[in-house]
Amino acid sequence: MSRQSLAKAHQKIQELAWEPQYHEPYMKYGTDYTFRKAAKKDPLKQVLRSYFPMEEEKDHRVYGAQDGAIRGNMFRQVQERWLEWQKLFLSIIPLPEISAARSMPMLFHAVPNPELHNGQAIQMIDEVRHSTIQQNLKRLYMNNYIDPAGFNNSLRNFQTDYCGTIGRQFAEGFITGDAITAASIYLTIVAETAFTNTLFVAMPAEAAANGDYLLPTVFHSVQSDESRHISNGYATLLMALSDEDNRQLLERDLRYAWWNNHRVVDAAIGTFIEYGTKDRRKDRESYAEMWRRWIYDDYYRSYLLPLEKYGLVIPHDLVEESWKQIWEKGYVHEVAQFFATGWLANYWRIDGMTDEDFEWFEYKYPGWYDKYGKWWENYNRLALPNGHNAIVAEDVDYVYPHRCWTCMVPCLVREDMVMQEVDGQWRTYCHEVCRWTDAEAFRPTYQGRETPNMGRLVGHREWETLYHGWNWADVVKDMGFVRDDGKTMTAQPHLNLDPKKMWTLDHMRRMPHLQSPNVLLNEMTDAEREAFKADYNRQGPAGRPAPKDA
Amino acid sequence: MTTTESNPSTPTERSVPKPVFTDAEAGAKEFPDSSPAARRYNYFNPAKRKQTHYEDVTVEVQPDPRHYLSQGWIYGFADGSRGYPLHWTKLKAWGVDEPEPPRGVGTGSMHVQNWPAHGWHEFRDPNEEWEQSLYRYNANVVRQLTQNVENARNAKAFDLWTPNWIRFVERNVGAWMHIEHILGLYVFAANERSGPTNMHNTAMAVNSTRKIRFAQDLALYNLTLTEEIDGFDGTAHLEAWNSDAEWQGARKVCEALTAVQDDWGEAIFAANVVFEPLIGELFRSNLVMQSAAGNGDFVTPTVMGAGEFDYAQRDLRWTIACFGPLNEDREFADHNKGLMQGWLSHWVPQALEAARTMQPMWSQADHKPPRFEDALDRAKNRFAGICRDLNLDTPEELKQ
């Protein structure tokens, strides 16, 4: 800034606030929330005259570090186990970022406070930055990392892959349906304020421990913008709270947003941090420890709880249940095991766990080996093609799970699975809260109240449906997850790049055909379905079949 | 020393991750997909022979069910629309009437065979805007402006201004900030959720950014003048904007642009093809920048000039690239041309009427700029040239 102080400059630009005199702007995006015009202050106090040079300076640092990494041969020290998971992460994340940019105009329409629009516009620009800077980082990995497969076709892969579809909730959820539910509660109040801590702070730290200091360089630069976005959400939330009629919707949306973020972000980032790392120092934090610090203490206790006095109904039960899922029910371990089971339907290579990994898991999560150790030993045993099938088609005491219709992560904590006939279709849900989300929250009425602007859960939400009855070789080929020799698969259940050790479409050809659990569920009689559910709820942990003697 | 005390002669090792030589750099091994040819994004066709950095960071980030989005959009609006509906403008690009692939049980992905499936995906922003270009450009502008204004302040340049020019700047240059702000926030940003591809929406977001910056440039310039010139009324722009007759026409059209019903194409077209040349450039170039020097002001044109460059070199450039090809679309050229001609017929008379209400401003300064009619003719000629660039007929209404 020049001579003018930031506060003075910010005060001056408030004179730009517009009160329509001849035409009211077209209101494209609806909300069931009501807002009274309130004199809430723009929390960002950002003026573009200082903003642009600041961001340019941040860019200089990021791109300087990237040049340095290449000149310094960073990739000679990068752990492949880690970078393979970035093929998934960096194919997903540019879309949520750009979707966050797209969600800001929804707030212009819904929140009648011109002063807040200034902060929302700056967030829009920030998000364009984040999306393109991340897409550029992926490009750098593609150019300089040993195995570009999976990076080079990432956006096609991401749009085809079931993991990508799970990740898309963290994008479409920002821009569709009720404007406040989507762009304020789901995006800024929960996703950005709570879960970007694990995404953009905890995960980059793990990257650095695995020899990759570019992910921290880019994502810490991104995270330094997030604090502004958090302020945006907070100001809107306070405005919403000032109207008594909004409380029921706020309670609904906080429950949905919290639970969905937990299901999606903890599944993905938990897996990256716990199963994508080679850093097994006993004193490095586990994902559970990070979660306790970043999300439970920093978000829940420090941010959310104080809002209770303003009348916000906090989903205490869901916060505790999320913790229970991570700490007692092994949610992250179950997800990682499922990703590895389905390695053949993905586009990155998944390294097996070693004795050193086992020891660390047992230290951090006592009892881990008894639950998951044997399965990972089987994974290693079946990693190289040697006349057997991929692990998903071998008998390793693992029942292929049904998918949750709402969050689309499979129903991995088997005892929690519920099902219901909704919109003429039997659906399985990973937890009662996901059932509630689909069957009750995303509906035109909620607890007797009209909610005409609420969105809908749509689409072909079970990936397996599209490939019901297909041969696995055709599935992989159809998705395009094949390398440039036309037969070697992009995905592998190991890190060995010797072509003789890599799985090909020929290996897939002899596998049993893929079956859609949901199609099969809907073909059952009522009695069969009840028996199926009773059996399913007795399965696990680690996907084990229900005990026969119970 | 007890056994619980550490021995200072054997310090405990700090717990840090150990560097490991992994040899995971490109070229270390040969295997399928290890060749340099595999090191490019391969899911889209570049507009030219070689794919650009801009394309790499922009194309396909916003998915499309007609491309690779095999499970479809997973959230919908209450009315059933989902994703980025192509009917959020009446404009059409080839292929849009083809139905989405009918996916279901056992259909597979049904990926597009001939990318890009429809014509909207052919658009590329000629400014190639992404975060690096966005910040470099705007940071340069604000740095240069700050230096210009600072230099003028040090040189006591504002002392040379005549009283009438001070009144002119405080009211009229000040009033213009509102137009830039409204267009930036409530036309360009408001529509950057609505476009059919990431390239369209990013171009709108970046256009919005420049507008909002320019509005703030003017506001902060106004603040400097308030501090530097005795008697400069920093709030006079509000009165002019709210009450001066010569501003109400432009305000009315500007507000009308925010009220375009559910058509991002019309809003952006009307703003950048009609409003900007007939009102924006008329005021900025043909009035303020032509008048200032004669009234002892060499600073205001540099501030205005930055906004003028934004429009002339960047905003208009992407607009031509966006709308021009639609008039030569292999399937919907006539439809689009008819639509755009209709928009011209609707918006040009409003813009000209507003321009004429601005005429008294041409007489307010001591040193007069070229005549209003000459300025308007120049603006009309400029507008007619834009119509030609878009392969549109100059509308009859321009003769008004």
Minimum CA–CA partner of A116 in chain B = B185
Q: Could you tell me the CA-to-CA distances from B226 to B5, B146, B346 in Å, in that order?
A: 68, 16, 40
- Its sign, for the CA torsion A152, B200, A236, B211, is positive
pLDDT at residue B256, as a whole number: 98
Both ends of chain A: CA-CA distance in Å?
72
The Cα of A107 is separated from the nearest Cα of chain B by a number of Å equal to 9
Q: In whole angstroms, what is the distance from residue A85 CA to residue A12 CA?
A: 47
Contacts of A145 in chain B (CB under 8 A): 24-26
pLDDT of residue B103: 97
> H or E element: which one contains B76?
strand B75-76
Q: At A69, which helix (H) or strand (E)? A: helix A48-71
Residues B178 and A18 sit within 8 Å (Cβ to Cβ): yes
**Higher model confidence: residue A212 or residue B13?**
A212
Cα angle A472, B65, A483 (rounded to 5 degrees) comes to: 40
Beta strands in A396-498 (DSSP E): 418-422, 425-429, 445-446, 449-450, 456-457
Note the pLDDT tens digit of each residue in A355-368.
Answer: 999 999 999 999 99
Instruction: Judge: B26–A485 Cβ closer than 8 Å, yes or no.
Output: no
Cα A377 from Cα B368, distance rounded (Å): 87
A-chain CB neighbours of B20 within 8 Å are 77, 79, 211, 278
- State residue A38's pLDDT score: 64
Q: Which helix (H) or strand (E) holds A125?
A: helix A114-144
By Cβ distance, the residue of B135, B191, B227 closest to A59 is B135
pLDDT over threshold 60, residue A3: no
The answer to whether the beta carbons of residues A132 and B58 sit under 8 Å apart is yes
Local confidence band at A4 (pLDDT 50, 70, 90 cut-offs): low
A positions 503-532 inside 8 Å of B (CB): 516, 519
**Cα separation, A227 vs B213, whole angstroms:** 21
A interface mutation test: which of B150, B216, B310 has the most A CBs within 10 A?
B216
A142: closest CA among B56, B21, B41, B46? B41
Rounded-to-integer distance, Cα A374 and Cα A380, Å: 10
So what's the ipTM on this one? Answer: 0.96
Q: Give the distance from CA B299 to its chain's centroid.
A: 25
pLDDT for B177 equals 98
Q: Provide the 10 A C-beta neighbour count for residue A249.
A: 25
Q: Does A168 contact B at CB distance below 8 Å?
A: yes
Helices (H), B192-315: 198-228, 236-243, 245-258, 264-269, 281-283, 289-291, 300-309
Q: A466 vs B107: CB contact, 8 Å cut-off?
A: yes
A175 chain-B contacts, CB cut-off 8 A: 75, 193
Which pLDDT belongs to residue B400?
Answer: 72
C-beta of residue B76 within 8 angstroms of C-beta of residue A169: no
Start-to-end C-alpha separation, chain B? 101
| Contact flag B67-A156 (C-beta cutoff 8 Å) | yes
Q: A280 and chain B: CB distance < 8 Å anywhere?
A: no
A228 pLDDT tier (thresholds 50, 70, 90): confident
Nearest to A275 by CA among A215, A203, A220: A203
d(CA A338, CA A396): 13
> Is residue A229 very low, low, confident or very high in pLDDT (cuts 50, 70, 90)?
confident
What does the pLDDT read at residue B9?
A: 62
Sign for the pseudo-dihedral over CA of A18, A19, A21, A27: positive
A454: which chain B residues are within 8 Å (Cβ-Cβ)? 78
Res A506 pLDDT > 70 = yes
Amino acid in position B209: T
Spatial contact of B244 and B358, defined as CB atoms under 8 Å apart? no
Chain A residues inside the 8 Å CB shell of B181: 16, 18
Reported in sequence order, the residue ranges of A314-371 that DSSP labels E, i.e. its strands, are: none
Q: Which residues contact B108 (CB under 8 A, 6 or more apart)?
A: A466, A467, A470, A474, A475, A478, B70
Distances in Å between the Cα of A158 and the Cα atoms of A90, A142, A166, B69 are 9, 15, 10, 8
What gap in Å lies between CA B100 and CA B96, rounded to an integer?
A: 9
Kindly give the residue spans of alpha helices, DSSP state H, lying in B295-332: 300-309, 316-323
Per-residue pLDDT of chain B (400 residues), as tens digits, is 444 555 556 667 899 998 899 999 999 999 999 999 999 999 999 999 999 999 999 999 999 999 999 999 999 999 999 999 999 999 999 999 999 999 999 999 999 989 999 999 999 999 999 999 999 999 999 999 999 999 999 999 999 999 999 999 999 999 999 999 999 999 999 999 999 999 999 999 999 999 999 999 999 999 999 999 999 999 999 999 999 999 999 999 999 999 999 999 999 999 999 999 999 999 999 999 999 999 999 999 999 999 999 999 999 999 999 999 999 999 999 999 999 999 999 999 999 999 999 999 999 999 999 999 999 999 999 999 999 999 999 999 898 7
Q: Which chain B residues have a beta carbon less than 8 Å from that of A22?
A: 248, 251-252, 255-256
Closest Cβ opposite residue A149 in set B38, B132, B224: B38
Nearest-Cα residue of chain B relative to residue A284: B15
State how far the Cα of B332 lies from the Cα of B120, in Å rounded to an integer. Answer: 12
Give the length of chain B.
400
**SS3 label, residue B82:** strand
Which DSSP string do the residues of A243-262 spell out, in sequence order? Answer: SGGGHHHHHHHHHHHHHHHI
Which positions in chain A touch B146 (Cβ < 8 Å)? Answer: 2, 49
pLDDT for the residue B2: 46
Kindly report the pTM of this predicted structure. Answer: 0.96
pLDDT for position B1: 43
Say yes or no: A252 contacts chain B, CB-CB below 8 A.
no
Instruction: For residue B150, give how far its alpha carbon lies from the nearest alpha carbon of chain A (Å).
Output: 8
Radius of gyration of chain A (CA): 24
Nearest by Cα to B308 from B384, B217, B190, B187: B217
SS3 string, A474-489, reads HHHHHHCCECCCCCEE
* Residues B27, A310: Cα–Cα separation, whole Å: 59
On chain A, the residues whose CB falls within 8 A of the CB of B192 are 101-102, 105, 124
Q: Which of B86, B91, B55 is nearest to B73 (CA)?
A: B86
How would you class A101 by CB atoms within 10 Å of its CB: exposed for 0-12, middle for 13-18, buried for 19 or more?
Answer: buried
pLDDT of residue B3: 47
What is the spatial distance between Cα B344 and Cα B340, in angstroms, rounded to a whole number?
Answer: 6
Is B205–A125 a contact, with Cβ atoms under 8 angstroms apart?
yes
